[in-house]
Amino acid sequence: MNAMDKVKIARDPRRPHFNEFAKFVCDDFEELHGDRLVNDDRGLVGGVAKIGDFRCVVLGHNKGATVEENMASNFGMACPDGYRKAMRLASLAERFHMPVVTFVDTPGAYPGREAEERGQAEAIAKSLEFFSALKTPVVVVVTGEGGSGGALAIAVGDKILMLENAVYSVISPEGCAGILWRDGSKAPEAAEALKITATDLLALGAIDEVVPEPKGGAHKNVKSACLKIKRAVIAKLKELTKLPVEELVQKRYDKFVAMGRFN
């Protein structure tokens, strides 16, 4: 299976969405709403949940499973309000000593005029700064598309997991092909060159673990895929909660500063 094949699987509308993670990864989930500034972005949702023995704050992009949900959530492309809501909820996690678990699945941040007017770039930049210094464990799971800054805004974590057929990249293969060759048909070549698959990113040290999927993809057996995610998340939380907070934050900072440095 080549990189573009995995891109197609990652984008499959039948793949598990946030609602499935809330149901099968979390033992219970209570959604919390609003950024307390503008509105309640439906492209990025969050709340309090229990995962195994851990009471957590859970955040995730919400693509939606129906056309109506797709439209309401901008297909998982969050506005500034979504990122500010994520920071608000993560600050609650820090205050009450709860770890944060994020589920990443977005083509990118919403590029609409209203998002830019409300400070999209500033909200993403602030989120990167905020999560890099958050004084509580952060576990990230890339479940489908990890698209550019829209994904990275909630993906600065101590441990980064990826589903086997997920992708994670600074730009889509089509966008890359259009910039480099002015030819969208070269997207498969761009996908290979970008090194966007879970196995490529694990080899590069950009992620920490690949979570296997059921044969044919997570959408073939959503419950099984979610249970594998749950086991992986719990294992990472057990590891991270043993670390002193100062060491935890320093290791997270060092992890991201080291990315892109090659000998």
261 falls within a domain: no
Written in H, E and C, the secondary structure of 25-92 is CCCEEEEECCCCCCCCCCCEEEEEEEECCEEEEEEEECCCCCHHHHHHCHHHCCCHHHHHHHHHHHHH
Please enumerate in sequence order all residues whose Cβ is within 8 A of that of 66, keeping only pairs 6 or more positions apart, or say none. none
Residue 262 lies in a domain: no
Tens of each residue's pLDDT in the chain, 263 residues:
899 999 999 999 999 999 999 999 999 899 999 888 888 999 999 999 999 999 999 999 999 888 888 888 888 899 999 999 999 999 999 999 999 999 999 999 998 898 999 999 999 999 999 999 999 999 999 999 999 899 999 999 999 999 999 999 999 999 999 999 999 899 999 999 999 999 999 999 899 999 999 988 999 999 999 999 999 999 999 999 999 999 999 999 999 988 877 66
Does a structural domain hold residue 210? yes
Residue 182 lies in a domain: yes
pLDDT value for 184:
85
Dist. CA 70–CA 41, nearest whole Å: 13
Q: pTM for the whole thing?
A: 0.93
The total number of structural domains in the chain stands at 1
pLDDT of residue 46: 96
Domain of 159, in residue numbers? 3-256
Residue 238 falls within a domain, yes or no? Answer: yes
**What confidence score (pLDDT) does residue 96 get?**
96
To the nearest 10°, report the CA torsion of 250, 194, 196, 172: 110
- Please report, for the domain that includes residue 235, its CATH number: 3.90.226.10
Asked, for residue 118, whether it belongs to a domain, the answer is yes
Residues 102, 131 contacting (CB under 8 angstroms) = no
Residue 14 maps to a domain: yes
